[in-house]
């Protein structure tokens, strides 16, 4: 009899402990979540155009939200163009954050057709829990590393009309080899007329 009472007294606290349940707690108040879903923030690019070298490997592109969100916001960024190797990426905003950086890999020569354009529009897709903002697209310009970059040595030069010919030097950033020559176009502007006041 004594031993059965001992067993019974041991079961009582266990029975009481099993009945007591802690109230559920939420990290994010339900009211905040409901209001966020009714009025989600806008998402947009933090710049309008980005130029990157083909050999850069990747490019960092900034996106922003119009207001912080209590929820994680995932935004698809879709390349609107026919460049091979550049696929959709997803930018993710942490709760409470209004800025994020999307790192996009830049394809190299092996995955870029030489006939394809080098300018791609990156478009904000249908964000999960966010509205599309303005601007909704960003122009990504990729410089082909196989083409030389040309600059002029003389940026400004004043000469008299009867001073004779002048020399402007065009400088390439690398040697160029191939069957065809590289032609650099030059345009003149002003009140003087070509073939009358000067010959270009």
The pLDDT confidence band at residue 63, using thresholds 50, 70 and 90, is: very high
Instruction: Output the pLDDT for position 164.
Output: 81
Coil/strand/helix, residue 7: helix
pLDDT 10s digits, 66-84:
988 888 899 999 888 656 6
Is the pLDDT at 94 greater than 90? The verdict is yes
* The residue to which tokens 């009945």 are assigned: 19
pLDDT 10s digits, 154-171:
767 778 777 888 888 888
| 21 vs 195, residue with greater confidence | 195
Instruction: Output the pLDDT for position 90.
Output: 93
Q: Is the bond preceding 135 in cis, omega lying within 30 degrees of 0?
A: yes
Instruction: Output the pLDDT for position 11.
Output: 47
pLDDT 10s digits, 110-160:
444 455 557 788 999 888 888 888 778 898 888 776 666 778 877 677 787
Task: Kindly calculate the radius of gyration of the chain based on its CA atoms and give it in whole angstroms.
Answer: 32
Work out the burial of residue 79: count CB atoms within 10 Å of its CB; fewer than 13 is exposed, 13-18 middle, 19 or more buried. Answer: middle
Is the pLDDT at 99 greater than 90? The verdict is yes
Nearest one of 52, 63, 197, 186 to 124, comparing CA atoms: 63
Alpha-carbon span 62 to 38, nearest angstrom: 26
pTM above 0.85, yes or no: no
The pLDDT confidence band at residue 28, using thresholds 50, 70 and 90, is: low
| 25 vs 49, residue with greater confidence | 49
Strand partners of residue 80:
121
At 45, give phi and psi (nearest 5°). Answer: -75, 145
pLDDT 10s digits, 6-27:
444 444 444 445 555 555 555 6
């Amino acid at each position: 009899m004594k031993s059965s009472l001992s067993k019974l007294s041991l079961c009582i606290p266990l029975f009481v402990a099993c009945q007591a349940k802690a109230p559920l707690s939420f990290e994010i108040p339900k009211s905040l979540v409901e209001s966020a879903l009714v009025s989600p923030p806008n998402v947009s690019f933090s710049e309008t155009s980005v130029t990157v070298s083909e050999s850069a490997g990747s490019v960092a592109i900034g996106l922003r939200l119009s207001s912080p969100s209590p929820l994680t916001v995932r935004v698809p960024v879709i390349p609107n163009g026919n460049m091979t190797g550049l696929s959709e990426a997803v930018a993710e905003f942490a709760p409470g954050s209004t800025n994020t950086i999307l790192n996009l890999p830049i394809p190299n020569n092996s995955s870029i057709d030489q006939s394809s354009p080098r300018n791609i529009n990156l478009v904000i897709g249908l964000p999960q829990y966010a509205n599309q903002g303005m601007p909704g697209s960003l122009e990504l310009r990729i410089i082909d590393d196989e083409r030389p970059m040309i600059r002029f040595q003389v940026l400004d030069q004043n000469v008299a009309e009867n001073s004779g010919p002048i020399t402007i030097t065009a400088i390439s950033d690398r040697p160029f080899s191939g069957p065809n020559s590289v032609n650099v176009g030059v345009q003149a502007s002003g009140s003087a007329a070509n073939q009358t006041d000067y010959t270009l």
